[in-house]
Amino acid sequence: MDVKTLCLGLLSLGDACGYDLKKTFESSFKHFFPAGYGSIYPALADLANAGLVECTKVPQAGKPDRKVYRITDSGRRVFLDALNHTEPQHKLRSEFLATIYFADLLDTERLGVLLDDRLQKLRDTVAQIEHIEQEWGPETPAGARFVAGFGAEMAKAAAEYVETNRHLLTNASNGERISEIKAAAGG
């Protein structure tokens, strides 16, 4: 499932322009499927080309025309098919963990900042998810609730792990090793 398919899925819930979709990605999908304009606009163009969505230009005073997309019957069929016959991936790409892997090469201060920043972002994620959850009514579909809950729980678990285990990364023998390696680097 690529951004194109996800856009199609969102359009199955209601008409929208690229800007609207981007806002949905920011509010509901941010923590598990980030997407920027650079993928959304080409996706919409491709979908329209393939006849899976139709586009209507809506002029506005002062602002650029809204290009409102509506899913077609063919589009619905293609989306349902993707949903039912695609093996879904799930992958993390963490430069944070990659950096921590080399914790030996970081001085204590830098390490502290990295961990604190990450904790802050995890807390922000939880707050952001709980904020959108508060605005939901009883009609909000179960899937949306499930994925939001998942995001919040994962962020809490990650924060707890970092807090509980950060002491493992700072032991007395580090200062020495860093000096040696930096010397070898001829810095």
Partner DNA sequence: CAAATCATTATCAATCTGATATATATCAGC
Partner DNA sequence: GCTGATATATATCAGATTGATAATGATTTG
Tell whether residue 163 is a contact of a second copy (CB under 8 A): no
Tell whether residue 45 is a contact of a second copy (CB under 8 A): no
Tell whether residue 50 is a contact of a second copy (CB under 8 A): no
In the complex, what is the shortest distance from the CB of residue 18 to DNA, in angstroms, rounded to a whole number? 3
Nearest to 24 by CA among 48, 5, 44, 40: 40
Q: Tokens representing 183? A: 């010397």
Tell whether residue 144 is a contact of a second copy (CB under 8 A): yes
Binding a second copy (rule: CB under 8 A), the pick from 14, 34, 36, 51 is 34
Contact 45, 24 (CB under 8 A): no
End-to-end CA distance of the chain: give it in Å, rounded: 46
Q: Tokens representing 14? A: 């209601």
Q: Which does 48 bind (CB under 5 to 8 A by kind): DNA, a second copy, none?
A: none
Smaller CB distance to a second copy: residue 118 or 128?
118
Those residues with Cβ within 8 angstroms of residue 25's Cβ, 6 or more apart along the chain or in another chain: 33, 34, 35, 40
- Give, as one character, the DSSP assignment of residue 57: E
- Angstrom distance (rounded) from CA 183 to CA 105: 12
Q: Which residues of the chain form contacts with a second copy (CB under 8 A)?
A: 1, 6, 9, 12, 28-29, 31-34, 73, 76-77, 80, 83-84, 86, 88-106, 110, 114, 118, 121, 141-147, 149-151, 153-154, 157-158, 161-162, 165, 168-169, 171, 181-182, 184-187
